[in-house]
Amino acid sequence: MDYVFDAPPVDRELLDFAVRLVARAGRMSARGFFGGDWHSRRKEDGSEVTEIDVAVEEFIRAELTRRVPDDGVFGEEGGSTGGTSGRRWVIDPINGTTYFTHRVPLFTNDLAYEDEYGPAIGVINMPLSRQMVVAGRGLGCRVLSGTDLDLRSGRRAQVSERTGLGGARTLMHNPAGWPEELLSALHRRVFLVPSSGMIAALVTGWADAGVIAGPPMGYEDVAPMPVIVGEAGGRVTDLGGTPVLEGDMSVLVTNGRLHDAFVQLVKDLPRSRDWQALADGE
């Protein structure tokens, strides 16, 4: 499911609803972060979950049921709820639960909306820094700060204009589990920066690219990316160049101008066709 630039714009009121909903979810998670009255446990896949993850997702689901009862919903904690409209919302109530449980204020609240044309709305909320990256198909990408949720007052996001791979500011997410071949190849060509907040950094132009190559991401982790990155002028795929929502859940996000060069760099690696085996350390 690639991003369709020439599809009709998404409804502005629906985008505004999504923004305000995620802001409320962010306040819930912030209260949980500072309140501390919760426990975490390991799920079957080894990832962490807390009562706050579950409560935030249940809140978002309830609000979606009230506003758009015919739409489907997929959430990290509650799974899939079928709808009749052919449209779907994707929820990651706390993206970065490990940050949350270790009291590191870098988690986000993520929401995406998909219609008959594909990705239509993406919202990534950083509740403790009070910033939100928001995009609607055909409506652009904006960064909102503080308590002002008016899309018209947000700063318009735009990717960088760098065209050469040499020295490109490239963010790495969780590089400890990366294949040595990939780290070495990138280190020789680009300027690597370990960092969170990859999408916000890219769409505001201070990073030129970002790579996630460790354990596979979940669909809910990547669902907001196509519309946010696309509306800011960038491009997002997996490391092999496949649209990110159809790929192996690795992530390559760039300003667009650098994308083909990054994909070629990965393709030139030994065993690049067996990329997931490399990422899993096999």
**Helix or strand (DSSP H, E) at 127:** none
53 known ligand binder: no
> Token pair for residue 53?
């993850």
* CA 256/CA 233 separation, integer angstroms: 7
* CA 117/CA 226 separation, integer angstroms: 12
> Token pair for residue 240?
């092999």
> CB under 8 Å to 168, separation ≥6 — which residues?
162, 189, 190, 191, 208, 209, 258
> CB under 8 Å to 38, separation ≥6 — which residues?
32, 50, 51, 52
* CA 272/CA 29 separation, integer angstroms: 39
231 known ligand binder: no
* CA 140/CA 152 separation, integer angstroms: 11
Taking Cα atoms as reference points, which of 213, 217, 214, 211 lies closest to residue 199? Answer: 211
212 known ligand binder: no
* CA 204/CA 184 separation, integer angstroms: 27
221 known ligand binder: yes
Q: How many CB atoms lie within 10 A of CB 103?
A: 9
Give whole-number Cα distances, 195 to 56, 109, 143, 169, 172, in Å. 25, 18, 19, 11, 6
Q: Are strands 191-194 and 169-173 parallel, antiparallel or unpaired?
A: parallel
From the annotation, which residues make up the binding site?
76, 92, 94, 221
From the annotation, which residues make up the binding site for Mg(2+)?
76, 92, 94, 221
